[in-house]
Structures are given as structure tokens and as C-alpha cells.
Structure 1
Amino acid sequence: MKPNELLDQFLHQFNNVLAPGAETLSKEVQQKMRAAAQATFDKLDLVTRDEFDAQRAVLHRTREQLENIEVQLAEIESRLDIKYK
């Protein structure tokens, strides 16, 4: 979900739950609420779903590479043990 979509969803839920009559508020008040919510979201260290998924894929590939290296290292260690016994 993109930050603007998240903000829109937040404001919609805010309007529906906390202030049922808020959707009829003036545009100026709605804009100030949006600006305040946007400022709050900007302070949070949030990432988009795309960024999260990309980092997750990188972590998955890195984990697979590490597992392959661990297998190779175990094979090398076993060869060295046999050679030097």
C-alpha cells in the first residue's frame, strides 16, 4: 500500500469512527487534518510494501547463498579431516 493510500484510508476511518460528521467539514479543516496526519506518517520510519518485498527477496537469496557456503565449508572441512588423519 502506498503512503497516500494509507493516509487516505486512515483519514476515511478517522472520519467514520471518531468523527461521523467530519466528512461534511470544510475543505480547509480536512486539508489541515491531512497535513497533520501526513506529518505524523513522515516522522515514522515506514516503507512501502514494494520496498519490504524487495528486501525480503534479497534476504531470502542471501540466506540461500549462506546455506550453500556452509555446505561447501563442511565438505572442505571433512576432506581436510580425512587428509590429515
Structure 2
Amino acid sequence: MLDPQKIEQFAKQITDAMPEGIRTMAQETEDKVKQVIQAQLARMDIVTREEFDVQSQVLLRTREKLIALETRLDALENPEKEAE
């Protein structure tokens, strides 16, 4: 398996060997791409992982309560089932 540190060192050596103008252009391009991605993500209607996990727990509790209520309702509507 390739060592990630060695790959990082190799990439740095290649970057350091490039002329200054190309390095600057590459950095500016990377910065611009990051800005565009961040702007697009900000426009999307997405939630954080924490918010998702909280809502998942709320949904799970709601399902459990619904199942309990359905069971109680079924027992009230069909008392003969409980006698069996």
C-alpha cells in the first residue's frame, strides 16, 4: 500500500519544481473552485449531519409511539383478540 505521506511529499516536490507563475495560477484556480463549490452548497437546501441525526432520532421515537398507539387501538377495537 502506498504511504500517504510519501505521496504528499512527492506532490510537494513536483509543485515546488514548477515555475512561480504556474504555482500561483494553480493556487488561484484551486481557491476559485473552492469558492464556487462552497457557494453552490450554500444555495442547496441541505442540513448538517448533526441535524440529520437529531431528526432521525425524532422520527424513530415517533414511529415507536405510533406502533404503540396502533396496538392499543387494535386492542380496543378488537377485545376478543386480547382474550385469546
Q: TM-score, normalised by structure 1?
A: 0.56
Q: Which has the larger radius of gyration?
A: 2
- Cα distance in 1 between the residues matched to 2:71 and 2:29: 62
Matches of residues 19-30 of structure 1 in structure 2 within 5 Å?
Answer: 24-26=23-25, 28-30=28-30
1:25 Cα deviation after fit:
3.5
1:68 maps to 68
Cα RMSD (Å): 2.6
- The letter for the 1-side match of 2:69 is I
**Counterpart residue type for residue 69 of structure 1:** L
TM-score normalised by structure 2 residue count: 0.57
Unmatched runs of 5 consecutive residues or more in structure 2:
1-14, 16-22
CA shift for structure 1 position 78: 1.4
Residue identity opposite 2:63 in structure 1: R
Equivalent residue number for residue 59 of structure 1: 59
2:59 corresponds to which letter in structure 1? L
- Bigger relative contact order, structure 1 or 2 (CA pairs below 8 A, ≥6 apart): 1
Q: Distance in 2 between matches of 1:37 and 1:29?
A: 12
Q: Sequence identity, in percent?
A: 37
CA–CA separation in structure 2 for the residues paired with 1:58 and 1:50: 12
Tell me what 2:34 maps to. 34
- Supply the AA of the counterpart residue of 1:76: L
List alignment gaps of at least 5 residues for structure 1: 1-20
Code of the aligned partner of 1:59: L
